[in-house]
Amino acid sequence: MSGRLEGKVAVVTGAASGIGRGTVELFVREGAKVVGADLQDDKGARMAEELGDAFRYIRCDVTDEAQVKAAIDLAVSEFGKLDILFNNAGTGGALENIENVTGESFDSVMHLHVLAALYGIKHALPHMKANGGSIISTASIAGMQNGFGPILYSVAKAGIIHMTKLAAVQAAPFRVRVNCICPGLIATPIFGTSMGMARQVADTTVKAIAEASGSSQPIPRGGLPSDIAEAALYLGSDGSSFVTGQALAVEGGITLGPSGTAAASAFAPIAVAMGIDLEAIAAMTPETN
């Protein structure tokens, strides 16, 4: 199937790398006109050269409401309307625990994730009221349950999930759908930048992340930006016209709990206490190639 977004106009934030870039490229292949918003001007310029007339790049700090509005307005002025907004920009957040969070780090993480998505919804909705549309935000499995991210990042992503539900109800009378995607372990530079790596260095770690994360969830391969792009394509297309207020987890089953050797190791202390042979437990664990 192709042309699933034929005639549609989209804005994607965080568009120049990772999930954002993968989504822009897929949207264009499926027939959409796309405005990509980011702060990586060099990458944005190369995307404009590669994607041609179907793409426009705009420099955009999503923590600045005026710049978010400008990205949305550019889509309308260049392509005549707005059908899809993908609030995707974000980072891994500060690696803090609850004992050393600061007001400054709280404000930074919440502004970049929750407030930026709210700005997007606020300024996209007026353009969508007449003909309907789809608003999508990147949340995370870290916002669904414990153990998948730093505290501030996790709280912010939980905020996006709940905000999605609230906005979906308010937008529904205008046939505007509001959903979010909760990625699992997706191989992007976000892991490296969260550890303090420079962006160019973090970009080189993506392949290693994909290879290493394959054993972390029931589906035995690493998650890729294309997996999230396909979810965004579904939520942006008419195929999801009866779907709103949902948090779609795209995570290879990792939130289902441990599997394989990880599941066996979780019960190891109990098995030892009961005098059960650990090799017998391992023998019951299915092998994967």
Q: Which residues are catalytic?
A: 140, 153, 157
Q: What is the mean pLDDT of residues 129-137?
A: 97
Instruction: Reply yes or no on whether the pLDDT at 165 is more than 60.
Output: yes
Q: How confident is the model at residue 261 (pLDDT cuts 50, 70, 90)?
A: low
Please indicate whether residue 42 or residue 280 has the higher confidence score (pLDDT): 42
Alpha-carbon separation of residue 106 from 64, 142, 152 (angstroms): 17, 16, 6
Q: How confident is the model at residue 239 (pLDDT cuts 50, 70, 90)?
A: very high
Instruction: Reply yes or no on whether the pLDDT at 1 is more than 70.
Output: no
CA distance 73 to 135: 15
pTM, rounded to two decimals: 0.86
Closest by CA position to 151, among listed 140, 142, 141 = 142
Instruction: Reply yes or no on whether the pLDDT at 133 is more than 90.
Output: yes
Domains and CATH numbers, the chain: 9-256 (3.40.50.720), 258-289 (no CATH)
44 within 8 A of 65, measured Cβ to Cβ? no
How many residues in total does the chain contain? 289
> Six-digit token pair at 97?
């625990």
89 within 8 A of 105, measured Cβ to Cβ? no
Who's near 205: CB < 8 A, 6+ residues apart? 189, 191, 192, 197
Which pLDDT does position 175 carry in this prediction? 98
Average pLDDT score over the chain: 87
Q: Tell me: the pLDDT tens digits for 171-214?
A: 999 999 999 999 998 877 555 455 554 555 445 556 666 666 66
Scanning 172-267, the segments in alpha helix (DSSP H) are 190-194, 199-203, 206-212, 225-236, 260-266
